[in-house]
Structure 1
Amino acid sequence: MATFRRALTHLAASEGPSSSVSDESLFPSSLLQHLTELGALTAPLPVEDGGLGLCSHPYGLMEMLRLTGCLSLSMGRCLEGHVNVLRLVALYGAHPQRTLLASAVKRGTLAGIWVTDGNTPVTITPTNTGYRLTGKKGFSSAVHEVGLALITARTAQDQTIMALVPTNDPVRITAGPGKLTGMTASGTGAYDFTGLVIHPENIVGQSGDYLRQPEFSAGAWRGSAVALGGMDRLTDLMLTELRNRKRDDNLHQQVRIGNALILRETASMWVCRAARAVCSTHLSPGDIAAIVNLARIAVEQAALELIPLVQRGLGLSAFVRGQAVEQVMRDLATYLRQPAPDETLTEAAHWFTDHPWPEDET
């Protein structure tokens, strides 16, 4: 574990807060290759499946996702989705499914979790030997790179089930819902599952497992860790440019720098609090879900305050296409648009209206 952590930290340090960016329309394939060589794809696998059990060590997982988000929010999004698949299959999958997934990941396969339907929702119907899928997934991150996807499908009884299916047929890949203003390097497209026949062993868990608490809400902390990495990069880019301009000792800029550091550290403390909640042995499922939901909103609020702060500090240079700071701001703003933020906040507030705030474990 320590060796893996040092290698990943070295990779992040070697990249540095460069002010230039590569073509953001291209998936960060070289970064994925580096991460694969470092073992980032296999590390979250359970130890019994040949991994490092990183999902059972939230602080180590937080560091991996945070560093990856700092390098590339698009890659961070895809790696977090990969981790989510490994986590859900470990929780709900049978031994053959875990073996299948572990074997694929050890061969360098990137997994993806695709749950947002396209214009035609994905449905599943039984056949004599298995199941037939119909419909599209519309927001499929890394659609050209993912080799196995964990998808949700609706049954005729309006139940939601998960299926682990191969996604290596280029004919089924189509354009996504439109060009996003940020996160374009994540390679989001659509995948048409119509006519695909799967076997019973492709079904993961039972109906309703995907929405089962606290895992459904608790998993959001990993996305917050990736966003925190984006805040790290944005703060570093601002500091680097102000130093290069010899404006870092200006009183007004120092106020902005101080506020930026406060925002980043606030987000960091909330992500750490969420990680502690997830690995807690005494918190109730409601406590865990509510703490993670509050952390998600706290990170979002901090990041949304950081973006205009950087814009005011750097002026028009923060709006120049081709500069890293401009791209990171767009990527971060897009990445933060997770579903139902108002509901997330009010549900957490309602929980702690009726329940005391839990003490930290020592």
Structure 2
Amino acid sequence: MRLTILAPAQNLQLLQRAKEFAEIAGEAASLADETGSIEQRVWSALRDTELSMAPFSPAFGGIGLGGPDQQATLCTILRLIGGADLAVARLFEGHVNAVMLVSRYGTSAQIGSLAESIKLGGLSGVWGAEDAQGLRRVQRGDSWSLQGRKILASGAGMIERPLITTESLEGHVLYLLNLETDGRADITSWTPLGMKASASGTINLTGVIVGPSEQIGRAGDYMRQPFFSGGAWRFCAAQLGAMERLTDLYCAQLRARGRDGDPYQLERVARCTAACRTTLFWVEEAARQFADESLKPAAVVAFTNLTRMVTERAALDVMECVQRGTGLSSFMRPNPIERICRDLATYLRQPVPDLAMSDAARAVLAGELSIGAGS
């Protein structure tokens, strides 16, 4: 992947646009949670600030935000959006992931096609989860007919250019679809505690025809490491943004109540701050390692898996401190703490956490990841 070095002024402009977008998303977050749907003005702002195009390289109208040298900037942007609305952050992170995959494995024509759709206001994402029946493909000459559905597909009914996976004898195959809003989505089963507006529903793909023009890369590319597991630092960054926002709100509510001198509250504030800063160190380092192609994939994946573990534990600690410190009011609407805690608790439930932890431990025991940075 070709590096794109942003000038300091470009970086500042991009972060300023991200702040502007986060403010709009934050203002709309309460209504999105109530209705289970993100307002159109939020998506219009995403397009207008050009954040949705940013992950593409300049050759395709972006600024290379998905490139190795821009992962630190992407980390800051995900924190900003995560602090505004985790549902929006989830969809934006999935969009970035999809663009990065297409940019890494796709042809110029495929990248250009996706970029043109995004420029017009579209959004992409990666839909990998399946039910027990799975998603199959049946050969029809030079093409394939898909049979089955995807579940927990964030942005169901809204995303028109998703990346989907299906199994083959050679490994997982990626297809970039062009779906019309044609009733394939069903979000009636999406009834979570939080993250309602992410619309992570079911998509019936039966009858969709795919062929060489839709296939991105070769079979097995999707699971290639460290890009498959190492990118998990991105959702950790979004979760960190919510942790930082919770701590800010906690401090503000303590000041408003005149409780900011209470020694027990001071201890909780210190614990929240330490948890956020510790997570920031881990997430930024995971982003740096993900971008460093000189590192062994096993070490990058192991460090990212540990980052997942650190982030989850820190987030649970922050939520406990904030809820204990603010009392019953943090469980009452419209206190934003109530909504953010629900969203964060739900978003923390990422796939196979025990496997991620045990795999990281195995990497340490096998000598693939050192315990100390300098050892």
TM class by shorter chain equals over 0.9
Which of 63, 70, 80 is the aligned partner of 1:52?
63
Q: CA deviation at 1:251?
A: 1.2
Deviates more, 1:173-182 or 1:229-238: 173-182
Alignment correspondent of 1:334: 346
* In structure 2, C-alpha distance between the alignment counterparts of 1:254 and 1:137, rounded to whole Å: 47
Q: CA deviation at 1:321?
A: 3.3
Q: Give the SS at the match of 1:133.
A: strand
Alignment correspondent of 2:36: 26
Asked if the contact 1:182–1:330 (Cα under 8 Å) also holds between the matched residues in 2, the reply is yes
Deviates more, 1:340-349 or 1:25-34: 25-34
Q: Give the SS at the match of 1:162.
A: strand
Alignment correspondent of 2:123: 110
Asked if the contact 1:213–1:285 (Cα under 8 Å) also holds between the matched residues in 2, the reply is yes
Structure 2 gaps of 5+ residues are: 1-9
Q: Number of residue pairs matched?
A: 359
* Sequence identity percentage: 33
Which amino acid is the alignment partner of residue 19 of structure 2?
A: T
1:165 aligns with 2:177: yes
Alignment correspondent of 2:110: 97
Q: CA deviation at 1:51?
A: 0.9
Asked if the contact 1:273–1:295 (Cα under 8 Å) also holds between the matched residues in 2, the reply is no
Structure 1 gaps of 5+ residues are: none
* In structure 2, C-alpha distance between the alignment counterparts of 1:196 and 1:11, rounded to whole Å: 35
1:125 aligns with 2:125: no
CA RMSD of aligned residues (A): 2.1
Which of 76, 99, 102 is the aligned partner of 1:63?
76
* In structure 1, C-alpha distance between the alignment counterparts of 2:293 and 2:232, rounded to whole Å: 19
Alignment correspondent of 1:76: 89
1:319 aligns with 2:331: yes
Asked if the contact 2:158–2:181 (Cα under 8 Å) also holds between the matched residues in 1, the reply is no
Q: TM-score, normalised by structure 2?
A: 0.90
Aligned in 2, Cα 1:131/1:113: closer, same or farther, shift over 3 Å? same
Which of 344, 356, 362 is the aligned partner of 1:350?
362
Q: CA deviation at 1:335?
A: 0.3
Asked if the contact 1:139–1:176 (Cα under 8 Å) also holds between the matched residues in 2, the reply is no
Which of 151, 161, 170 is the aligned partner of 1:148?
161
Q: Map Cα deviations across residues 254-290 of structure 1 (whole Å, 9 max, x no partner).
A: 1111111011111111101101111224311111111
Asked if the contact 1:118–1:139 (Cα under 8 Å) also holds between the matched residues in 2, the reply is no
Alignment correspondent of 2:100: 87
Q: Give the SS at the match of 2:220.
A: coil
Which amino acid is the alignment partner of residue 21 of structure 1?
A: S
Q: TM-score, normalised by structure 1?
A: 0.93
Which amino acid is the alignment partner of residue 147 of structure 2?
A: T
